[in-house]
Amino acid sequence: MGFLSSVKPVCIVLISFAVLALLSFGANAEDSPKPTTTKPPAKPTEHGPIYTAPPQPLPEPEKSYLPLFTLNYPRVQIPFEITLWVLLASFAKIGFHVYHKITIWVPETCLLISIGLIVGAIMHSVHEQPPAVLTSSVFFLYMLPPIVLDSAYFMPTQPFFENVGTVLWFSIVGTLWNSIGVGICLYGVCQIPALGVQDINLQENLLFASIISAVDPVAVLAVFEDVNINEQLYIVAFGESLFNDAVTVVLYNLFNHVAELPVVDAADVFLGVLRFFLVGLGGMLFGLVFGFVAAFTTRFTRKVREIEPLFIFMYSYLAYLLAELLSISSIMAIVTCALTMKYYVEENVSQRSCTTIRHVIKMLGTVSETLIFFFLGVVTITTDHEWNWGYILFTILFAQIWRGLGIVVLTQIINPFRTIPFNFKDQFGLSYGGLRGAITFALAYTLPNTIIRKKLFITATIAIIIFTVFIQGISIRPIIELMNVRKTNWKLGTINVEIHTRLMEHITAGVEDLCGQWSHHSLKDKFMRFNNRFIRKILIRDNRPESSIVALYKKLELQNAMEVLDTISGDISAAPSLISLHEEKASNKSSFKPKRTFLASDLTAMHEILSKNMYKIRERTMSYTNKHTLPNDSRAREILVRRHTSIRRSLRARSFQGSESARSQKYFSLPLGQSLDTGYATESIRLNADGDPALELHNRSVRPKPRPRSKQPRFSTTRARLDPLQELHSTVNMEDEVRAEESSHRPSRQSSSSSNSRSRAPLQRHSSLGTPSVGEDDPEGDEQQLESPPPAWTPEPPDRGSGGPRNPLLRRAQWKPQDK
């Protein structure tokens, strides 16, 4: 089987790597005091030429030959081991995707922990110690920031801010509820003499409870995605995980401090609460400040494009470290920093820097997370455990109960304030999906050593993590699918039903979006106005009004086209030529089609096509919150591009047919009869940092001015080739694909280039986008467009009586250069 043959080499590589790692650790001869490793040496290293021989009195000069091979392990030890571990964990990740079905049923975290367990077992059997990665400083300074930055940067801001109340409610109050509830119950349990844990006092129980209430629904988000959970739930779970971490850390520090006090009085509690607010809000403030500073800095980085991404990382890390310095919530700081910074920075930096930033953040976050879970597995085997059946089982039990109770109660309270209330299924998803993960693990390790039963706590923490990750993680998917059971099995439904129901779902989703969330709008509008008037002027270089939908379409089509090129990989024959398609369509239309009979196999094929290829409703949020991949906005792009090309097509049809048929294809986004001279509100859909098209309405004065560039795509030579007219018969370039798609939608398209070129004239509008810069680099493009729009852009009067459609959507066509 293909799968087996590909798994075997991967396994072999993994095992050999593990062995290699062990050998290298064993090779370390020094007892290193550094925090990353505590390997006892096994054999001494050879002395290389860098070591001077100890001075001896009057030695007989011995002839020592120049050594040809020397081994100097201590010198490279730390980076070497780090690299090995990272590589090992990454190989594990590759290995998982060998057999795709595994990752559907078993969350990746489970797999990582399993591999960690195996490696841990190997290490234990050779009596090696794993690297002490999980000591406080390494974890909190190096491993946690990338994860948090990753989550915060890819947070879809729109839905998040719409749900911010719920998110904060669940994370703050929910965590408090959980910690206190579980802590008190455990304290009660501790009083039972039979369990032998009577020496754990209330503070310690509370401390422990605060640790294990940090929920980390990484795995759950992946499940939610596939099972088509309510979008609201998705955002709430995502946001909760983020803020949960912050709250837990604050609570932990709070209880830690309290635990050390022999006596707790009211003043301490009050101070504790005060400190809680101070810490949280202080963190946010820090993050805001740093975010703005970062945005401001990028305003000036035009000449140093290569190091632009550096600023993002340095500023967010700086925010984190400074917050740690002042003992305020560093997680809040870095989250707020990322959220603020993202919006402005992505407007200022070049496209390439933007991509680089996203990729690097994703990479760092994934690596960090992988390593943590991996080490969880390793450490499980190698630590000394103190197992206490009663305490641990009760911990797990109470954690589950309190989380479930907490979610239910909190939902009841907050549901009246939500426009879309949570139903039972949502609540179940939220509570059952509360898996514990990285933060819990690290916090347990950093418990102060003054706690007597520290080992018990660590064991209990590991137990609950493994329980939730494995059992809940694996079982949540079938359970949700069970609850999601459709009333009618689609195999029995007709094609009709499938198509029409999907259409109706789209309609309803569209109308829902139309009605929008009724609250928060005024606040958001106010903020956006403030934003446009003041903040953008300061923070964004050459502040111009946001780019229009033209820029978006331009960028989209190019990206699309380039992707198509990638996938074709140079197979010329794959692309149908325009002419042949056109003829085919014509013949199809004219010929009489006898009634076909459909076989059952045809039907199943159809059902499959439909179920796989029909656009799902509102996919966009889901695509942003998959933790392990970059945001994928290809569906959204596809839809936008298609709308755009169909509008363009209908325009052309209208422009040289001018007949009723064009009318029937009328898309109501085109306002007819408006002349160039009337001011009207133009829309701009811009793919902002989230990838969400962010629509801004601007009131334009009569003559639209030369346009901003913000998301100006950097394409060089490919752009020239996208001219649809002249390249009709050229060799396959992306163009053919783009047009092939168009042509398949346009049965009536004339392939004459002349009429097409004429039809483009009315589409020429003001230079909404400026030139798509011919040069590869930004500076040239900017300067060019600032000076004067090149001739291709000059607005031309429409050459049709009724005035070509003035719709901003059509401006998209402009970027195709007139000059070939």
Residues 600-619, interacting with another protein (CB under 8 A): 602-603, 606, 609-610, 613-615, 618
From the CB of 725, what's the least distance to another protein, in Å? 22
Only segment of 239-247, 349-357, 443-451, 596-604 that touches another protein (CB under 8 A):
596-604
The reply on whether position 598 binds another protein by CB under 8 A is yes
From the CB of 494, what's the least distance to another protein, in Å? 5
Closer CB to another protein, residue 192 or residue 695? 695
From the CB of 506, what's the least distance to another protein, in Å? 5
Q: Report the alpha-carbon distance of residue 286 to residue 324 in Å, rounded.
A: 11
Only segment of 170-178, 273-281, 342-350, 638-646 that touches another protein (CB under 8 A):
638-646
Closer CB to another protein, residue 404 or residue 576? 576
The reply on whether position 188 binds another protein by CB under 8 A is no
Only segment of 252-260, 315-323, 454-462, 498-506 that touches another protein (CB under 8 A):
498-506
State the burial class of residue 263 (Cβ atoms within 10 Å of its Cβ: 0-12, 13-18, 19+).
Answer: exposed
The reply on whether position 508 binds another protein by CB under 8 A is yes
Closer CB to another protein, residue 305 or residue 502? 502
Burial annotation 30-52 (CB, 10 A radius, 16+ → b, else e): eebeeebbbbebeeebeeeeeee
DSSP state of 621: H
The kind and range of the H/E element at 597 are none
Nearest CA to 790 among 820, 819, 758?
Answer: 819
From the CB of 559, what's the least distance to another protein, in Å? 14
Q: Report the alpha-carbon distance of residue 423 to residue 403 in Å, rounded.
A: 17
Closer CB to another protein, residue 419 or residue 754? 419
User: Which tokens sit at 369?
Assistant: 């997370």
Only segment of 90-98, 476-484, 517-525, 812-820 that touches another protein (CB under 8 A):
517-525
User: Which tokens sit at 71?
Assistant: 């081994």
Closer CB to another protein, residue 127 or residue 612? 612
Closer CB to another protein, residue 8 or residue 666? 666
Site for another protein in 470-489 (CB under 8 A): 487-488
From the CB of 697, what's the least distance to another protein, in Å? 5
From the CB of 579, what's the least distance to another protein, in Å? 15
Nearest CA to 811 among 669, 701, 639, 689?
Answer: 669
DSSP state of 135: S
Site for another protein in 665-694 (CB under 8 A): 666-671, 680-683, 685, 692-694
Out of 505, 563, 777, 796, which residue is the one contacting another protein (CB under 8 A)? 505
Write down how long the chain is.
Answer: 820
Q: Report the alpha-carbon distance of residue 498 to residue 486 in Å, rounded.
A: 13
Angle of the 231-260 helix axis to the 330-348 helix axis, nearest 10: 140
Per residue, what are the HEC states of 420-463? CCCCHHHHHHHHHCCCECHHHHHHHHCCCCCCCCHHHHHHHHHH
User: Which tokens sit at 478?
Assistant: 């079938």
Quickly count: other Cβ atoms within 10 Å of residue 371's Cβ: 23
The reply on whether position 639 binds another protein by CB under 8 A is yes
From the CB of 419, what's the least distance to another protein, in Å? 5
User: Which tokens sit at 269?
Assistant: 């509690």
Q: Are 573 and 791 in contact (CB under 8 A)?
A: no
Q: Report the alpha-carbon distance of residue 648 to residue 749 in Å, rounded.
A: 12
Closer CB to another protein, residue 334 or residue 641? 641
Site for another protein in 387-446 (CB under 8 A): 419-420
Q: Report the alpha-carbon distance of residue 546 to residue 537 in Å, rounded.
A: 12
Closer CB to another protein, residue 541 or residue 644? 644
From the CB of 424, what's the least distance to another protein, in Å? 15
Query: CA separation (Å) from 464 to 114, 121, 392?
Result: 15, 20, 8
User: Which tokens sit at 611?
Assistant: 């179920």
From the CB of 610, what's the least distance to another protein, in Å? 7
Out of 42, 504, 538, 574, which residue is the one contacting another protein (CB under 8 A)? 504
Site mask, another protein, residues 272-291, x = CB under 8 A?
Answer: --------------------
Only segment of 106-114, 340-348, 632-640, 748-756 that touches another protein (CB under 8 A):
632-640
The reply on whether position 566 binds another protein by CB under 8 A is no
The reply on whether position 574 binds another protein by CB under 8 A is no
From the CB of 434, what's the least distance to another protein, in Å? 25
The reply on whether position 511 binds another protein by CB under 8 A is yes
Out of 497, 574, 586, 786, which residue is the one contacting another protein (CB under 8 A)? 497
Residue 627 identity: K
The reply on whether position 528 binds another protein by CB under 8 A is no
Closer CB to another protein, residue 52 or residue 522? 522
The reply on whether position 516 binds another protein by CB under 8 A is yes
Out of 424, 527, 745, 780, which residue is the one contacting another protein (CB under 8 A)? 745
State the burial class of residue 560 (Cβ atoms within 10 Å of its Cβ: 0-12, 13-18, 19+).
Answer: buried
Q: Report the alpha-carbon distance of residue 739 to residue 496 in Å, rounded.
A: 30
Q: Are 763 and 804 in contact (CB under 8 A)?
A: yes
Size of the residue set binding another protein (CB under 8 A): 76
Closer CB to another protein, residue 566 or residue 783? 566
Closer CB to another protein, residue 263 or residue 492? 492
Q: Where are the alpha helices (DSSP H) in 131-230?
A: 136-138, 144-153, 157-162, 164-168, 174-190, 202-212, 218-226
Distant-in-sequence, close-in-space partners of 586: CB < 8 Å, separation ≥ 6: 747
Out of 525, 566, 780, 799, which residue is the one contacting another protein (CB under 8 A)? 525
DSSP string, 704-737: PPPPP-TT-----HHHHTT-TTTTTTSS--HHHH
From the CB of 394, what's the least distance to another protein, in Å? 40
Out of 299, 302, 628, 642, which residue is the one contacting another protein (CB under 8 A)? 642
Closer CB to another protein, residue 267 or residue 511? 511
436 beta partners: 215
From the CB of 668, what's the least distance to another protein, in Å? 4
Closer CB to another protein, residue 389 or residue 518? 518
The reply on whether position 568 binds another protein by CB under 8 A is no
Closer CB to another protein, residue 72 or residue 744? 744
The reply on whether position 596 binds another protein by CB under 8 A is yes
The reply on whether position 659 binds another protein by CB under 8 A is no
Out of 503, 538, 574, 786, which residue is the one contacting another protein (CB under 8 A)? 503
From the CB of 359, what's the least distance to another protein, in Å? 24
The reply on whether position 533 binds another protein by CB under 8 A is no
The reply on whether position 521 binds another protein by CB under 8 A is yes
Q: Are 548 and 769 in contact (CB under 8 A)?
A: yes
From the CB of 427, what's the least distance to another protein, in Å? 16
The reply on whether position 48 binds another protein by CB under 8 A is no
Site for another protein in 785-814 (CB under 8 A): 807, 809
Which residue pairs from 691-697 have beta carbons closer than 8 angstroms and sit at least 24 positions apart in sequence? 691/620, 691/623, 691/624, 691/631, 691/633, 691/636, 692/156, 692/158, 692/620, 693/549, 693/552, 693/636, 693/640, 694/158, 694/546, 696/528, 696/532, 696/545, 696/546
Site for another protein in 690-719 (CB under 8 A): 692-695, 697, 699
